Chain A
């Protein structure tokens, strides 16, 4: 590409190079803050006080051997907003004969749907891709790579508290998010 010009070829090359350089500088000045801000969520998140156990009721609210679904409600800071009571998830709680509890996260370890109770068959069933789990959470059938995720339950006097955690989906190991 060339065209007759009053500017001699060497000077043309020089001006062209400077122009490209300056154009690059403009692009860089815009790109750094824009990309930096867009990628902001990839920075490691600061530890929040989100491992405080969540009260879900009294021991007497639960019948021995019958799983009951409880909603987990606690205060949440989400980006800029703070809420005193937000439902962050749910768990299937079963009271055992010895007074201890088992808790299973309702989030299916396959792809994260909410796991239901199939009362007729007497096991847990995921409505999305037909994974089934035994009452203790073990995988029975379907595409789920592992059993349901257990949560730690604490009993303080009469109060039942659940330590809520979320785990990565789609893998056979249990890895906390």
Chain B
């Protein structure tokens, strides 16, 4: 039955002859492990295609949705993180294998006649693969993609004559936006893959025409050692591809593809390209001012030009130097080693710089924060709204922009600031403050030295702490203890300076509703009012122009939330 169906199909399609010619193609000189890179590349390209299609089902190319949809793939889609990991690390694996394939074919002298056109097709394929890599990592619209790709399009903009127009064309406008994403997306999923398929077809057809580039042996020897593609070479190819895919699977599963915070045009992000573009990035450091084009375009262009014209350089040289292909392979290898060294230099200089580590750590924290906030859904106005919609997160940003020139971060060594704010008005904070108001993290760096440290017994301290804590509208107040603290307020001498009437004496802040939302907001607006520090005040006044109402609200909420945070100083 099956045989009859096979016969029927074969008479219509001739598939048996096709299979036969595919499997029993003669490999001159015999099967070799070093021929495996090309077929592994084909396997990886297919893997990129299927994982790419799966990702495409969930991805949305717009500035408001791209990051959110990629985060959705990472967190909500079943096995989505693994698919994206495979696609992400698959790109890296392809670049590595392209280099190995290039070196192998170069040392075999595959650029010599009659394979010149196939060498050129391979060169075009490499350019397409690099372009796919570049367009791909903008698509998540995260900080890394956004800033690293800016560099690439800015380089296009520096080209003489056409630069400005070219950049506008690539970006789809004067600056990055929806049209940049739709263009890069179209390139990445339609135009470049179409080109890839076309040139891969040419590359494979020409490969079938000429066969592998055999080792340097007499023709009889090659013939004697010749083997059909099946079983040995096919086994080598499959085994290597399986090892590559297996490794890739492991890395994707254990690492997962990174996703930075959403692209924020207002941020200071440490822009670094993917590792395979680091050599180009490093090269830019050596050319200043007007010489920039040398690093961005001329040198890389010359290197690529050398690679593309290798068959013709060889044809020219071989008349004088019969072993020219070895010399050229050596030059190519040294050139690639130089490219690798540039990349290593870029990594090394980043490793040495502590500022890089700090910025990277901050970017990582921000990414985690954005992804935590995104679990409830990303606002339709875009992922940057996540920060603004969360008063605590936004409050922290306003604090670091507006307040930290005086109120330093609590873990700053040798603290010299105004009272530090992390853990402000928590029980621990109040207790520490009452015991030592002149400590550097409290009033130690201000003029205020009139408050005495509280030296009473621990239980009285606890009661006073609970009373002060209860003023801030806290849900977890022990009422009886707070009541006891209120009774101690007069007797322990607090009332000789502080009032509890909401009006104040001008001697020390009134403590009615201390550290509540309303108290804090009023304090920030008018710290020098009699109700607050009066004449003792050193803090700047933050009125509506310096701190708009919504920012004040965010700061107030952030400060209020500190009561449940741990102290960040010893």
Contacts and interface: CB of A to CB of B under 8 A. Distances in A.
Partners in one complex: yes
A15 interface: yes
A126 to B, nearest CB: 31
A151 to B, nearest CB: 25
Contacts of A81: 64-65, 68, 377-380
B50 A25 contact: no
B242 A22 contact: yes
B65 A80 contact: yes
Interface stretch (B140-148, B231-239, B268-276, B279-287): B231-239
- Chain B interface mostly: helix
Q: How large is the interface on B (under 10, 10 to 19, 20 to 34, 35 or more residues)?
A: 35 or more
Interface string B223-258: 000011011101100110110011001000000000
B376 A33 contact: no
B29 to A, nearest CB: 12
A97 interface: no
Interface string A23-42: 10110011011101111100
Contacts of B72: 79-80
B51 A3 contact: no
A1 B235 contact: no
B378 A40 contact: no
B396 interface: no
Interface string B68-90: 11011100111110110010000
A80 B374 contact: yes
Given A33-B82, A83-B380, A38 B57 contact: yes
A130 B520 CA distance: 65
B33 interface: no
A58 to B, nearest CB: 28
A1 B379 CA distance: 62
A43 interface: yes
B556 to A, nearest CB: 23
Nearest to B85: A33
A83 B227 CA distance: 65
Interface stretch (A5-13, A60-68, A112-120): A5-13
Interface in B407-449: none
A57 interface: no
Contacts of A16: 230-231, 235
A19 B374 contact: no
Given A38-B54, A40-B80, A5 B374 contact: no
A7 B232 contact: yes
Interface in A38-97: 38-40, 43, 77, 79-83
Top 3 nearest A-B pairs (CB, nearest first) are A82-B377, A36-B79, A80-B72
Interface of A: 1, 3, 5-7, 12, 15-16, 18-19, 22-23, 25-26, 29-30, 32-34, 36-40, 43, 77, 79-83
Interface of B: 16, 19-20, 23-24, 30, 43, 46-47, 50-51, 53-55, 57-58, 60, 64-65, 68-69, 71-73, 76-80, 82-83, 86, 227-228, 230-232, 234-235, 238-239, 241-242, 245-246, 249, 374, 376-380
20 contacts: A1-B24, A12-B231, A15-B235, A25-B246, A29-B246, A30-B46, A33-B82, A36-B78, A36-B82, A37-B58, A38-B54, A39-B78, A40-B79, A79-B76, A80-B65, A80-B68, A80-B76, A80-B374, A81-B68, A82-B379
